[in-house]
Amino acid sequence: MNQKMHAFPDLTFRLPEWVASVMPLADHVFRDDEEKMRLAVMLAKENVRHDTGGPFGAAIFDRDTGRLIAPGVNIVVPAHWSGGHAEMVALALAQQNLKTHDLGGDGMPFCELFTSVEPCAMCLGAVPWSGVRRLVCGARDEDARKVGFDEGPKPDNWIDEMEQRDISVTRNVLREEAAGVLREYAEGGKPIYNARQRRSESN
């Protein structure tokens, strides 16, 4: 008797094709926080311009060499994946690139996560498990909430919680520039895709 087996899709995701065309050369050295954040913000802006996802960008760097390890952009809608936030994509690509699940493990570079907007509740939870040792943010949580994004239930003392885990946090790097990408996205009528928001509106 033949039994039909379940068929499930493979779990795969890809960066939008345009990302490769805007990346610096592999040997480019990023000199400071502003230059690194400028890349994250540019990724967010280009993601909006190309209509390939939400207004969020991120990147993982090797602090000591100033080299880019992995970029990330928000791909929630095109990937049909609620977890496809820019930080999650950058972390996954960095771990694949360095062939480890722990970016803070033995022999790993000092990894920094730069994100155009402070992490939402999901991405904040992923940071300690990823192994990154420094988190640098552009726009603030309230900037994202102001245009309608649901950042989830984050503890008020999340920075202290990160630092207790030896993850340093720096905020407000190019904040206005990063917040401007959020406003541009919202003013352009792009989708604010909070599942819980849609559910509450239909009640």
pLDDT per residue as tens digits for the range 43-89:
999 999 999 999 999 999 999 999 999 999 999 999 999 999 999 99
- Paired tokens of 200: 């509450």
DSSP-assigned letter for residue 64: T
Own/partner contacts of 99-106, CB < 8 Å, gap of 24 or more, are 100/131, 101/131, 102/130, 102/131, 103/60, 103/130, 103/131, 103/132, 103/133, 104/130, 104/131, 104/132, 104/133, 105/131
As a whole-number percent, the residues of the chain with pLDDT over 70 amount to: 95
From 46, 87, 112, 151, active-site residue: 87
Given a cut of 50, whether residue 18 has pLDDT beyond it is yes
Reply yes or no on whether the pLDDT at 10 is more than 90.
no
pLDDT of residue 195: 60
Note the pLDDT tens digit of each residue in 143-177: 999 999 999 999 999 999 999 999 999 999 999 99
Distance CA 169, CA 185 (A): 26
User: What is this structure's pTM?
Assistant: 0.92
Contact 135, 168 (CB under 8 A): yes
Residue 4: the pLDDT is 78
Residue 35 appears among annotated catalytic residues: no
